[in-house]
Chain A
């Protein structure tokens, strides 16, 4: 179980770190051309799958509570994508269980 959790969190961390490269690279290129702008998480989600973003918003606001989107989810989605993704990735790497000690005979 410990080994599985370590593997899962490591894989997720790798995914997040790899995912952060795309917006980071785009921001770097934009900065190089003098048009720097931050890419928020919501922008990334929108580019990957706009319908699911829109349906999630409508679902939460209409069937759960309007404020849950406006006051909780939306502020998160407004955060810049690459620092959040890479930060989460690093956190997962640090928090994953340590390697199990080798059994001694």
Chain B
């Protein structure tokens, strides 16, 4: 009997890398090594400047082109663009994708805004999300399994950073409430902690061992159940780029951006109120709730207005980032809490 055994190098057609991705990577390679790689090598600083292959390839490329090349390799690309949920509308024009994807906070990769290049080191496949703590059964799910479990949709949301810049973007993802139900929390679970990735080999921030890595933050289980709370897996009709928290991150649009960890690997249900990354670092400036409010200034700057990415337009900040109708009720009876820091 003839038995056909597949050789390790034999791949089915469906697993072949698309031509567009190969061409894009080749073009990126021709752009040469990064300035940081050269500086690092010249200074003999070991791994400091020796960016990983992807980071080197990303240098000098158009960020949208780079993103497109990544999307071509993303196994979830067929799910995008998802149908837009018409219930969520904006009072302002959408921020240009080109602006939104190159102005990011991702502290594992640095404290500056041009981390998009360094963030390309983040490999988003394979990727798993672990659900643990006070749940019926702890579980770990592959990101693509999650994407098949929860139907995705597109929502237009305002996004407000505590640093007084803002954007208006089309997130793709699924309601956070669906994930909470799927996790089957126990009765004692009061808070949900989101933990960002912790691959110390790819992000220079982790070498600063004095910071409270991994980046975590948390919400009450009631906040997570709000209709606006969203697990974003994409933006602008494509899978998220690494610098924006690929492959999955929570979005609670009435809160400042720092509350919403990127590239989530763990979701834990706990009984006691956790202290998030920034609250550990600077509790006088950053608290647990961090809801947007123009009348409550940051200790070092005003929150009265916000600067829109791309246009630079100054707009008055909206309390609860304009989502008061949906979320203000969550905070009745909490007047003594520091709700807006």
Interface residues of A (CB under 8 A from B): 40, 42-43, 45-47, 50-51, 53-54, 57-58, 61-62, 66-67, 69-71, 74-75, 77-78
Q: Tell which of A58, A67, A78 touches B111, judged by Cβ atoms closer than 8 Å.
A: A58
Partner of A74, one of B36, B208, B285: B208
Q: Which of B241-277 contact A (CB under 8 A)?
A: none
Q: State the Cβ distance, A81 to closest chain B Cβ, in Å.
A: 11
Indicate whether B112 reaches chain A with its CB closer than 8 angstroms. yes
Q: Is B10 an interface residue (CB 8 A)?
A: no
Asked if residues A51 and B43 are in contact (CB atoms below 8 Å), the reply is no
| A46:B45 contact, CB within 8 angstroms | no
Across the interface, do B48 and A75 meet the contact criterion of CB distance under 8 Å? yes
- B70-113 vs A, CB cutoff 8 Å, 1 = contact: the mask equals 00000000000000000000000000000000000000001111
Would you call B112 and A77 a contact (CB within 8 A)?
no
A-B contact pairs, 15 of them (CB 8 A): A42-B208, A42-B209, A45-B210, A46-B210, A47-B210, A50-B281, A54-B111, A58-B112, A61-B110, A66-B114, A67-B49, A71-B45, A71-B48, A74-B207, A74-B208
In residues 217-235 of chain B, which contact A (Cβ within 8 Å)? none
Give the shortest distance, in Å, between B12 (CB) and chain A (any CB): 42
| Chain B window 29-45, contacts with chain A (Cβ cutoff 8 Å), 1 for yes, 0 for no | 00000011001100101
> Taking CB as reference atom, which chain A residue is nearest B115?
A66
Secondary structure at the A interface, as helix, strand, loop or mixed, is: helix
B150: CB under 8 A from chain A?
A: no
CB atoms of A67 and B113 under 8 A apart:
no
- The verdict on A78 contacting B281 (CB below 8 Å), with A61-B111, A62-B113, A71-B43 known, is no
Task: Collect the chain A residues with CB atoms within 8 Å of residue B48's CB.
Answer: 70-71, 74-75
- Nearest residue, chain B, Cβ from A57: B111
The answer on a CB contact under 8 Å between B208 and A61 is no
A74 contacts across to B, CB distance below 8 A: 48, 204, 207-208
Q: Would you call B211 an interface residue if the criterion is a C-beta within 8 Å of the partner chain's C-beta atoms?
A: yes
B282 at the A/B interface (Cβ < 8 Å)? Answer: yes
Instruction: Please report the C-alpha to C-alpha distance between residue A29 and residue B101 in the assembled complex, in whole angstroms.
Output: 47
Instruction: Determine if A71 and B49 form an interchain contact, defined as CB atoms under 8 angstroms apart.
Output: yes
Whether the pair A51, B281 counts as a contact (CB closer than 8 A) is yes
Contact A62 B210 (CB under 8 A): no
List, in ascending order, chain A residues with CB within 8 A of B111's CB: 54, 57-58, 61-62, 69
> CA separation between A69 and B203, bound complex, in Å?
14
Which chain B positions have C-beta within 8 A of A46? Answer: 210-211
Chain B residues lying within 8 Å of A51, measured Cβ to Cβ, are 281-282, 284-285
Chain B residues within 8 Å of A66, by CB: 110, 112, 114
Least Cβ–Cβ distance between B325 and chain A, in angstroms: 35
How far does the alpha carbon of A78 sit from the alpha carbon of B45 in the complex, in Å?
12
* Docked complex Cα distance between A61 and B208 (Å): 15
> In the complex, given contacts A42-B209, A74-B207, A78-B208, what are 8 additional A-B residue pairs having Cβ atoms less than 8 angstroms apart?
A45-B210, A61-B110, A61-B112, A66-B110, A69-B110, A70-B110, A74-B48, A75-B45
